Structure 1
């Protein structure tokens, strides 16, 4: 029997496809090639003087190959369609006088990135499901196109637009008025075919919600929770007149070094060190600043789900290991699981949250 027929039979019996075979072979080639390239690049004039030994790089590539089929627990890394539990009103347990800067909040990176394949997708749960799970920070990327704001991840359209994001978020807040949603809005990809500025289009989208008092509008101060319950707090990450709190301003300290060159352990370790360093600072300081830490990462050689599968378990162990409980600010994740989300919620000096 030819190799082609054998593989056809094997994949049909295992309910798989040639796409899986291609992806598997591609990853093997990528890991091996990357290790060889890095090994070559690390060599100096002396073959015995290597900044990173070749055998170490190759052993890391081998370990990555052997671990390709393994996945962390769904409790910390969830790629299924719906969360296993809900935490719809966890903010009701926090007193009104607490500053936003002192709340530890689970969030998602590239919240709406559900389309585009493994290199573009960052979340499995749709927006409303994320809010039900307990997510209270949304990372929204809007392209300015034909005087509208379609949601993009880079060049990839995500089959949604900013008005839909606002409707879904407000629907959740009307159902659970004790909660607040922090929403970063970033201008994404190339603008095209517009007759007005991004700022004007954005203002058109939010105007009705300002009139209904469903958006926080005192952008110059750090709000207390009681001031913003039932509202969206916009973090403005685009140029123009103030239409939200300044994402790059004095009230925010951000860690977002997202480039992870490969899945080799040394690159995952480096990404984790950036995350850990920011969480350490957030937990030790008592300033009125919101610390925002992105645990996500990607590159051509390291796709979002692969990085999340390695970083999320480390984040869970870190959070659980900090006693007494600390404030960590906002943690923006790819494919978070429910146990990880609830570990973050329980860092707010609250009794253990019982999920619905």
Structure 2
């Protein structure tokens, strides 16, 4: 009898160990393939054509990318620095309408940075790429957050340099001076234009980023903080759907620190789109009340592994299952077709 119990115990341990490694997970809410977009994703290239002109910015749900330009596979620090795989043009063609642009002040120009990492592009490249896209698809608009990154120039110098760009590209930038509501414009004003969300206090040619009601819990101490991150994401989804209808809402699905950006987005053991999920180390039935929104995998009778799940999949599932009508601006690392689609679909629910 004793030997039988030991044998069953050892078999169970083996089953649980295997379950942490063999259950591959593919969900197109997360996308980490280089040089290509999610299949069929470019159906969203001009999705805003279906949104009424009278909608205010606060009433539109927009998919966005965090650290938009950090997509090159050759970036130093690899999985720490990289937050995207689609390049800027692919992101726009895929329906992304919010860009997170980090600017290092280089005396006569702005260079794109992610922390200390030079991303290899300047601000002219970003503006010209977006303007070219908007010229082809004038029904669309792009919301562009700008902030200073890596350098620490004062507000006066930031304004002086930005104003040179503004004067150069002003025909393609939303003009708050002529808006009937400079804090919450209607879509007809924004079509074919870039709206600047300024995270630099002195830059006034747009909307101040501080006016946006946002969730940006961006630092995780370890992988096991992922559920806490998901809980604040979920709370912000509910707040966007039910509260503050006249305010622009924003929800960052991204985080890093003690966890890689790809892990936060996917819950995977490595960056691949098709990688296995990572196990939390907990199992059912003993821990059935833990991490309730995380998946149970590798069922063996009443036993199962509790695995991590990424914020991209959790958010796409939640938007659909709860029939969310207003998600605000949802900002992600490595967004895939399903996440982008679920954010866009919020605009059509009544």
Normalising by structure 2, what TM-score?
0.75
Going from structure 1 to structure 2, the CA distance change for 1:260 and 1:69 (only over 3 Å counts) comes to farther
How is 1:154-165 mapped onto 2 (pairs within 5 angstroms)?
Answer: 154-165=115-126
Q: Deviations over 1:58-95 (max 9, x none)?
A: xxxxx899646766425111011221221111100011
- Which residue number corresponds to residue 308 of structure 1? 265
Match of 1:182, SS? strand
- Maintained 8 Å contact 1:64/1:263: no
- Which residue number corresponds to residue 99 of structure 1? 56
- Maintained 8 Å contact 1:72/1:313: no
User: Which of the residues 154, 157, 168 maps onto 1:208?
Assistant: 168
Q: CA deviation at 1:287?
A: 2.1
Whole-Å separation in 2 of the counterparts to 1:70 and 1:118: 22
How is 1:1-356 mapped onto 2 (pairs within 5 angstroms)?
Answer: 67=20, 72-81=25-34, 82-83=36-37, 84=39, 85-86=41-42, 87-114=44-71, 115-116=75-76, 117-191=78-152, 197-210=157-170, 212-218=171-177, 220-249=182-211, 252-264=212-224, 267-285=225-243, 287-299=245-257, 301-309=258-266, 310-323=310-323, 325-349=324-348
Normalising by structure 1, what TM-score?
0.74
Q: Deviations over 1:22-79 (max 9, x none)?
A: xxxxxxxxxxxxxxxxxxxxxxxxxxxxxxxxxxxxxxxxx89964676642511101
Match of 1:348, SS? helix
- Maintained 8 Å contact 1:209/1:215: no
Q: How many residues align?
A: 281
In structure 2, the gaps of 5 or more residues are 1-15, 267-309
Going from structure 1 to structure 2, the CA distance change for 1:174 and 1:253 (only over 3 Å counts) comes to same
Match of 1:134, SS? coil
Q: Deviations over 1:149-172 (max 9, x none)?
A: 100000000000111100000000
- Which residue number corresponds to residue 9 of structure 1? none
- Which residue number corresponds to residue 17 of structure 1? none
Whole-Å separation in 1 of the counterparts to 2:244 and 2:106: 42
Q: Deviations over 1:291-337 (max 9, x none)?
A: 101000101x31101111121111111011122x4101000000011
Q: Deviations over 1:259-304 (max 9, x none)?
A: 111112xx111000111111101101252111101000101x3110
- Maintained 8 Å contact 1:216/1:232: no
- Maintained 8 Å contact 2:27/2:313: no
Whole-Å separation in 1 of the counterparts to 2:158 and 2:265: 32
In structure 1, the gaps of 5 or more residues are 1-62, 352-356
Whole-Å separation in 1 of the counterparts to 2:254 and 2:223: 13
